[in-house]
A and B are shown apart, each in its own frame.
Chain A
């Protein structure tokens, strides 16, 4: 019986394999590999929704080629991402890899992109080093350092002297802590204490108690998108807001997707990030309206613009190469591209293939009964500070 099921599988795959190459002539395929199950589902859904929205708005024909999006779930596990990337290139003949919700997922795929010369558009993962792992990687999301450094600058300019940092105890958290601490100290600030919270941590109460005891001017927080809500609620529950401690951090903690559920606890939190649903541009208003309409009222968040702009980048690159899907030509076309995104003006740094964008300082406010990150200051043309510091 083993043989029989085996033969059946064999036949099925042979059929599937036979069907693909014929269609590959006129279509350009984009393999979107994202976490759609597991703890990072929300990110994947935002990316998928944004990518599909872009294709709906701009048509599926570019430079005479038909564009096809193939969506695959990697459940946030690196070995799946790598396997799927390989299969998409080998079996489905995709011309682009896109997605990548977490750093290890992008890292696992980098050598595959290099080996097969397929452009790889990182739409989410934010660790600085990713783009250095393959000359075929381009990033349309953000780097962790961009927000962390800018919020440090802002804090130093705004009479915040003593800060306690509180980050989730994993690699991105360590990066966010280091970027902030280094920058803040160099501007003359003082770090009273640096706390690290275990990943598996349903209760922040004990950590916040330590913060109360340390009496800083502000608490700098970095947690994975989503966990921030629990923290913020407990921040208010313990009255930290009334004791004059401000809550600041990179915009991950006030993720637009979950912000409406935070309750009034979040009002007044100041963060730095690349995108807010509330960004006051015509382009963004149109984007938000279309996004919400297509996705049952779901708000687009910073992950979504990574996906939206990622597909835009692919379209523009194809236009420049006249539909040619040679990896090196596409990369050359992508470098230095500039365009107006829903988040504001952005470009691809021709040297590092990383994104250059405006970082906004935002405060959480209530508008028409809903919570939004309202932008009130901006730092234009921010490059990845980690790579900038290396030079």
Chain B
């Protein structure tokens, strides 16, 4: 029972790290970025290439995956995304889906369409018993890393100059500009960090989700669920939603395997019909 809980939390945490960047672009910047999963995939493949093909240690590959996805994100934001901030949601959908197609085909071209896994060091494999709860070492690592990220994010948003600028830029762009905040760069940096986190999540999650060129489309639904159920007005909303979905999904599959496929979607529909702004939104925004 507790093992199920533990697995659910690990799974939810992973979803959170990948999708929190999406929560920022979608919620704070009001940008429908369906290509978010592509950045997660790029981070994952970056780690795969480093670890499996060049023998870089697993832990060293994680920050590289973060930086790689973040740099690509920054580049894409400055050259392409920036043209779409004030466009309609539909044009954003068209653009980002186009990006997904391109990255999927490009990854297929350069790295092949086979499923890929990152070689884990042996000390991360297997699991141990902790007062009767079976704890997978790798899942424990995921939980630790994700918790660390959550804390850092909260600190940055709440207590740094950058955090207050970002909040100001989001609350009212024009006033923020008037106050001399370089809103463009605040957004660009935020976007890059979001992509970087997705990349890190992709690298961490490769073991559980597995990498393939269709990763962005395959998991886009999950990321969107996290963001829409969690609401987009804070970091805690998507976080709680991820955990809830992780546990709900895992528990649903354990206790009712025949109907496991339905659980996550049904939760989503019910939540959204009852609370269209998301489960953890503060009142109505926008």
Contacts of B112 in A (CB 8 A): 45, 298
Most buried by A among B4, B113, B134, B136: B113
Q: Mark B102-121, 1 if CB is under 8 A from A, else 0.
A: 00010010001111110110
Q: Determine the distance from Cα of A42 to Cα of B214 in the docked complex, in whole angstroms.
A: 11
Whether A237 contacts B257 in the complex (CB less than 8 A), given A41-B113, A230-B208, comes out as no
B117-A210 in contact (CB<8A): no
B138-A237 in contact (CB<8A): yes
Q: Kindly state whether residue A69 has any CB partner on chain B within 8 Å.
A: no
Residues of chain A at interface, number, CB under 8 A: 37
Contacts of A38 in B (CB 8 A): 214
Whether A233 contacts B7 in the complex (CB less than 8 A), given A41-B213, A209-B254, A261-B116, comes out as no
A205-B213 in contact (CB<8A): no
A237-B210 in contact (CB<8A): no
Min CB gap A115→B, angstroms: 33
A229-265 at interface with B (beta carbon < 8 Å): 229-230, 233-234, 236-239, 257-258, 261-263, 265
Contacts of A201 in B (CB 8 A): 253, 260-261
Contacts of A257 in B (CB 8 A): 114
B125-A261 in contact (CB<8A): no
Whether A233 contacts B257 in the complex (CB less than 8 A), given A238-B127, A298-B112, comes out as no
Q: Kindly state whether residue B207 has any CB partner on chain A within 8 Å.
A: yes
Contacts of A233 in B (CB 8 A): 117, 207
Q: Kindly state whether residue B200 has any CB partner on chain A within 8 Å.
A: no
**Total cross-chain contacts (CB, 8 A):** 105
B115-A226 in contact (CB<8A): yes
A263-B120 in contact (CB<8A): yes
Contacts of B38 in A (CB 8 A): none
Min CB gap A136→B, angstroms: 31
Q: Determine the distance from Cα of A365 to Cα of B250 in the docked complex, in whole angstroms.
A: 32
Min CB gap A219→B, angstroms: 14
Whether A205 contacts B250 in the complex (CB less than 8 A), given A39-B214, A169-B261, A196-B258, comes out as yes
A203-B207 in contact (CB<8A): no
Q: Kindly state whether residue B209 has any CB partner on chain A within 8 Å.
A: yes
A210-B257 in contact (CB<8A): yes
B254-A210 in contact (CB<8A): yes
Contacts of B138 in A (CB 8 A): 237
A197-B108 in contact (CB<8A): no
Which A-chain residue is minimally distant from B134 (CB atoms)?
A238
Contacts of B258 in A (CB 8 A): 169, 196
A263-B117 in contact (CB<8A): yes
Q: Determine the distance from Cα of A76 to Cα of B249 in the docked complex, in whole angstroms.
A: 28
Contacts of B16 in A (CB 8 A): none
Min CB gap A167→B, angstroms: 11
Contacts of A196 in B (CB 8 A): 257-258
Contacts of B95 in A (CB 8 A): none
Whether A203 contacts B249 in the complex (CB less than 8 A), given A230-B210, A262-B117, comes out as yes
Q: Determine the distance from Cα of A239 to Cα of B128 in the docked complex, in whole angstroms.
A: 9
B11: contacting residue among A37, A199, A203, A236, CB under 8 A = A203
Q: Main SS of the interface on chain B? A: helix
Which B-chain residue is minimally distant from A241 (CB atoms)?
B126
Min CB gap A370→B, angstroms: 13
Most buried by B among A169, A201, A203, A229: A203
Which B-chain residue is minimally distant from A301 (CB atoms)?
B114
Q: Determine the distance from Cα of A37 to Cα of B210 in the docked complex, in whole angstroms.
A: 18
Q: Kindly state whether residue B58 has any CB partner on chain A within 8 Å.
A: no
Q: Determine the distance from Cα of A206 to Cα of B250 in the docked complex, in whole angstroms.
A: 6
Q: Kindly state whether residue A195 has any CB partner on chain B within 8 Å.
A: yes
Which B-chain residue is minimally distant from A225 (CB atoms)?
B115
Contacts of A379 in B (CB 8 A): none
B7-A237 in contact (CB<8A): no
Min CB gap A261→B, angstroms: 5
B260-A198 in contact (CB<8A): yes
Q: Determine the distance from Cα of A13 to Cα of B191 in the docked complex, in whole angstroms.
A: 46
Q: Kindly state whether residue B251 has any CB partner on chain A within 8 Å.
A: yes
Q: Determine the distance from Cα of A257 to Cα of B138 in the docked complex, in whole angstroms.
A: 25
Q: Kindly state whether residue A200 has any CB partner on chain B within 8 Å.
A: yes
Q: Kindly state whether residue A339 has any CB partner on chain B within 8 Å.
A: no
Min CB gap A75→B, angstroms: 11
B117-A198 in contact (CB<8A): no
Q: Kindly state whether residue A18 has any CB partner on chain B within 8 Å.
A: no
Q: Kindly state whether residue B81 has any CB partner on chain A within 8 Å.
A: no
Which A-chain residue is minimally distant from B207 (CB atoms)?
A233
Q: Kindly state whether residue B164 has any CB partner on chain A within 8 Å.
A: no
Which A-chain residue is minimally distant from B255 (CB atoms)?
A206
Contacts of B218 in A (CB 8 A): 39
Contacts of B113 in A (CB 8 A): 41-42, 45
A237-B126 in contact (CB<8A): yes
Which B-chain residue is minimally distant from A299 (CB atoms)?
B114
Q: Determine the distance from Cα of A38 to Cα of B108 in the docked complex, in whole angstroms.
A: 11
B115-A258 in contact (CB<8A): yes
Q: Kindly state whether residue B84 has any CB partner on chain A within 8 Å.
A: no
Whether A239 contacts B115 in the complex (CB less than 8 A), given A206-B253, A207-B257, comes out as no
A205-B209 in contact (CB<8A): no
Q: Determine the distance from Cα of A353 to Cα of B126 in the docked complex, in whole angstroms.
A: 47
**Interface residues of A, Cβ cutoff 8 Å to B:** 37-39, 41-42, 45, 169, 195-203, 205-207, 209-210, 226, 229-230, 233-234, 236-239, 257-258, 261-263, 265, 298
A-B contact sample (18 more), CB < 8 A, given A39-B214, A39-B218, A263-B117: A41-B213, A169-B261, A197-B257, A197-B260, A201-B260, A202-B208, A202-B210, A203-B208, A203-B249, A206-B254, A206-B260, A229-B115, A229-B117, A230-B210, A233-B207, A236-B126, A237-B127, A265-B125
Instruction: Pull 8 A–B residue pairs with CB atoms less than 8 Å apart, ordered by A.
Output: A41-B214, A199-B261, A203-B11, A209-B254, A226-B114, A229-B115, A230-B208, A237-B126
**Interface residues of B, Cβ cutoff 8 Å to A:** 3-4, 7, 11, 52, 105, 108, 112-117, 119-120, 125-127, 134, 136, 138-139, 207-210, 212-214, 218-219, 222, 249-254, 257-258, 260-261
